Structure 1
């Protein structure tokens, strides 16, 4: 289970992102985003607080919200609910994911003020227009120049607008330290494998720039002001729902396949058992399975 990968709807930025097939991952991304919806509802409520102005302006004056790297649109719809007077634009590089976003918005009654924009980041944003709120979650780390990507998004903010970038936090946890199979500490070794993969993925991106990932510095360099950062917790204790268990089985299976060469034989065996739906020790049947994660949102406003 990767700490970097798309928890939260994980959002598509570019078809060059480590050769990930975002359309093929659509159902998994949608399920993940739905699990993380309580976290993003908290984040959206916080954005409303930040936009509350004692002088009289406030979140109800938000007329246009852009979700950059929207994926299947789960968070786009959270934002539509949080900003009921706004047009919401889901922006993504996958037509299949945007179709899911549009269908979701229609089902939830947001269709009249919801639209999509097909564009790879950051080059496809020129025709997008401005926004009062611009949100991007787990998309910018798929771009080689993260500082430049923040500046590109800031350039689309309307005066007084708010840019919110959800990047970082804590790796998701779903495994106890001692599972009763294999060596204790498997979760930590999964995290280490994910970190190694993530660094390799970033270094292979077109235009990769190696620099300190200081998101508040990126926002300041883009000319934005009144920075604020806050982290939000997802706490799904045991026993998990069937849907959450199915998500964890899929996530662990993908990790076990992707990082197989980073594990020893004992860990590969443990992961095979954890992802076996017929094994009583598998994550799909364990009574102690849980999901705990934290995601960080960095914000700043245009002059």
Structure 2
């Protein structure tokens, strides 16, 4: 059995918040309206989007960052440096703790890779939707397309290594969902979930991020570091996962997410002293598509 302690990942979430500053700023600028008075980041992680929302919102308005883990929230508090109000609350506890944390109807609620950690995802979406002011928007950053950074054939191991890493994460994620206490299946898509929550004008916008090879030194290091985190989370001794951050604790039975052969290849690719180290390749790239599903509260 493996316990998921998200406080241990607080530093990594803070790092991700800093690394994604440009993406967050661009998305926040497209979401915020001049008339918005209250914006909320639920499951805020390192506070990256909360900080971006605070920069995009008109002066004299309020941004609230909410997370269920106190260590994670502390990282968000430091990252946002007083620009937002940070509150401890969990979606799993229903709407009222969130309502008290926000203390006003919200014009915009953002939740990125957090609702999928709620035991009952539809109930969590229902709760978030109930916090909106008339005409307010709920934006869920969930799913998209798997990121691609590696060539199919790396000259070591069986080709298709990155595809198998995605598959391993998907299997872990399914087991994580099954292990949540009181887990409830949601056998339909995010837009259906927003509609079932009573929201209207529901739709999806997807954001493409692309950097062609060769990458600059800083971005190259960032890609390698991301692979290090993803592989470490799937190793037998950790059993952690690589899809966003969670908002509670659970257990999963260990199984072989990555084959021994693939694990051995990853160890070589991520060894700075090894001949196959990814950080010295000139053909790494960045291609990802992240989807944002948006619903509006009726006026």
Q: 1:67 aligns with which of 16, 41, 60?
A: 41
Greater alpha carbon shift after TM alignment, 82-91 vs 185-194: 82-91
Q: 1:282 aligns with which of 256, 274, 277?
A: 277
Q: Say if 1:66 and 1:88, in contact at 8 Å, map to a contact too.
A: yes
Question: How far, CA to CA, are the matches of 2:84 and 2:258 in structure 1?
Answer: 44
Q: 2:161 aligns with which of 178, 186, 190?
A: 186
Question: How far, CA to CA, are the matches of 2:89 and 2:44 in structure 1?
Answer: 11
* 1:88-99 equivalences in 2 (<5 Å): 88-99=63-74
What stretches of structure 1 of length at least 5 have no aligned partner? Answer: 1-17, 49-58
Q: 1:259 aligns with which of 234, 239, 246?
A: 234
1:25 aligns with 2:9: yes
Q: Say if 1:122 and 1:152, in contact at 8 Å, map to a contact too.
A: no
Q: Say if 1:92 and 1:98, in contact at 8 Å, map to a contact too.
A: yes
Question: How far, CA to CA, are the matches of 2:234 and 2:75 in structure 1?
Answer: 29
Q: How many residues align?
A: 271
Q: 1:125 aligns with which of 86, 98, 103?
A: 98
Q: Say if 1:26 and 1:97, in contact at 8 Å, map to a contact too.
A: yes
Q: Say if 1:226 and 1:300, in contact at 8 Å, map to a contact too.
A: yes
Question: How far, CA to CA, are the matches of 2:257 and 2:198 in structure 1?
Answer: 41
* 1:142-157 equivalences in 2 (<5 Å): 142-157=117-132
Q: 2:294 aligns with which of 269, 286, 299?
A: 299
Q: Say if 1:133 and 1:163, in contact at 8 Å, map to a contact too.
A: yes
Q: 1:77 aligns with which of 43, 48, 51?
A: 51
**Which residue of structure 1 lines up, in the alignment, with residue 23 of structure 2?**
39
Cα distance, 1:187 vs structure 2: 0.8
- Paired residue secondary structure (1:298): strand
Task: Report the aligned-residue RMSD.
Answer: 2.0
Cα distance, 1:241 vs structure 2: 4.1
Greater alpha carbon shift after TM alignment, 234-243 vs 129-138: 234-243
**Which residue of structure 1 lines up, in the alignment, with residue 209 of structure 2?**
234
Q: Say if 1:32 and 1:247, in contact at 8 Å, map to a contact too.
A: no
Cα distance, 1:96 vs structure 2: 2.3
Greater alpha carbon shift after TM alignment, 189-198 vs 207-216: 207-216
Question: How far, CA to CA, are the matches of 2:34 and 2:275 in structure 1?
Answer: 51
Q: 2:85 aligns with which of 104, 115, 118?
A: 115
Greater alpha carbon shift after TM alignment, 20-29 vs 167-176: 20-29
Cα distance, 1:114 vs structure 2: 1.6
Question: How far, CA to CA, are the matches of 1:102 and 1:256 in structure 2?
Answer: 29
1:269 aligns with 2:243: no
**Which residue of structure 2 lines up, in the alignment, with residue 55 of structure 1?**
none
- Paired residue secondary structure (1:61): coil
| CA displacement, residues 104-127 of structure 1 (integer Å, 9 cap, x when unaligned) | 222xxxx3x521101122313241
Q: Say if 1:225 and 1:301, in contact at 8 Å, map to a contact too.
A: yes
